[in-house]
Amino acid sequence: MVERMELDEERALTELVGRLETRFPTLGRDQIERDVTAHHVRFEDVTIHDFVPVLIERQLVEAYRESAQE
């Protein structure tokens, strides 16, 4: 069961990278993957991981938008 959850989360994070790359193509996939990984580390100790990809996406979209406005 745990392996399945890890695979589901890994798949969700991979899909997240793709969505962010589509929305922010100037950043490049490598940068987005590094950002997703850096944010994911912050959630390592949480009990429920179902919403981690959603939280990461919200944080990064906000950060990328703010960065684009500067």
Predicted TM-score (pTM) of the model is 0.87
The residue segments making up the domain with residue 65 are 2-69
What tens digit of pLDDT does each residue of 1-59 get? 445 558 888 999 999 999 999 999 999 999 999 999 999 999 989 888 889 999 999 99
Q: Structural domain tally of the chain?
A: 1
Return the closest-CA partner of residue 5 out of 48, 56, 45: 48
Amino acid found at 40: H
